[in-house]
Amino acid sequence: MNFNKIYGLFLRHFYLIKSSLPRILDLIYWPTIQIILWGFISKFFSIYSDYYNNTLGVILTCAILYDILFRSSISFNMLFLEEIWSRNFTNLFIAPLKVKEIIVALILTALIRTLIGLVPAVILTAPLFGVSIFKLGFPLLLLFVSLYIFGITLGLFVSAGLMRFGPSFENIAWSSLFLLAPLGCIYYPIEILPSFLQIIAKGLPLLYLFDEARNILLNGFINYENLIIAYLLTSIYLIFGIGLFYFSFLRARVKGTLINMGE
């Protein structure tokens, strides 16, 4: 083997990583988030071991609800990325399509992808684990809509970044949701988080949605205040996400980067 050739190929990838902040962050990001998330979960069960009467049911239900958020956002991102990968992005704007028409089309298609991914999982949890998400009753629909809208909003943020920074922003599409997992208090109450993270968590609709899901399962009643706050925050993020998408599109058009998207 030729050591110089091995060293040359090593330098090629080393400099590629060294010169790309998104790649460096991606390497650091995943193990850090996993440690933080499971650290908080372990801390929760060590302190509140008797908090849940039906631990399996609560955790699986919250996991399915989180998957609604995950699938909706990733589905939106995937549809946008597929246009870039297939080098069809420019063609979208050659055709007489408006930005709002593209957004609505992606939202509707993402809904279908989300349901296709979720329905089998929901069906399997009942016979395998004796857990049914439908025990939430009518509030399940309210939770689903809010989580879906927030997932689409995250998709808008990532798509705006893709238009602004190009395919190098692609890793953020996969990692953005995992950043919110510890802060969203999916499996544990907000008291588990350090005080400075609690401030951030209170600005996310996820906190109120998952807190309400646990409240319904454990206490059997609905606290509409949580849902109202969640919908209010979701609406604010959605408006900001749409505005950011339009802004990134206009900036990309001015700079001419739309032409090179996918190259």
Q: Which amino acid is present at 247?
A: F
Q: What angle do CA 87, 158, 252 make, to 5 degrees?
A: 55
Whole-number Cα distances in Å, 154 to 26, 238, 241: 18, 8, 7
DSSP structure class, residue 137:
-
Is the model more confident about 89 or about 142?
A: 142
Contacts of 205 by beta carbon, 8 Å cutoff, 6+ apart:
146, 150, 229, 230, 231, 233, 234, 237
Tokens 């939430």 map to which residue?
Answer: 136
**Position 38 pLDDT exceeds 60:** no
What backbone torsions phi and psi does residue 222 show, to the nearest 5 degrees? Answer: -105, 130
Q: How far apart are CA 134 and CA 157, in angstroms?
A: 31
**What confidence score (pLDDT) does residue 60 get?**
76
Is the model more confident about 212 or about 260?
A: 212
Q: How far apart are CA 238 and CA 97, in angstroms?
A: 21
> In Å, how far from its chain's centre is CA 150?
8
DSSP structure class, residue 2:
-
Mean per-residue pLDDT for 246-252?
85
Residue 147 neighbours by CB distance under 10 Å: 27
**What confidence score (pLDDT) does residue 53 get?**
57
Q: How far apart are CA 14 and CA 19, in angstroms?
A: 9
**What confidence score (pLDDT) does residue 232 get?**
96
145, two tokens: 């809509």
- The residue among 196, 163, 197, 191 whose CA lies nearest residue 179 is 197
- pLDDT tier for residue 61 given thresholds of 50, 70 and 90: confident
Q: How far apart are CA 227 and CA 93, in angstroms?
A: 38
What is the three-class DSSP state of 51? coil
**Position 149 pLDDT exceeds 90:** yes
pTM, rounded to two decimals: 0.77
**What confidence score (pLDDT) does residue 191 get?**
85
50, two tokens: 């008797």
Is the model more confident about 259 or about 121?
A: 121
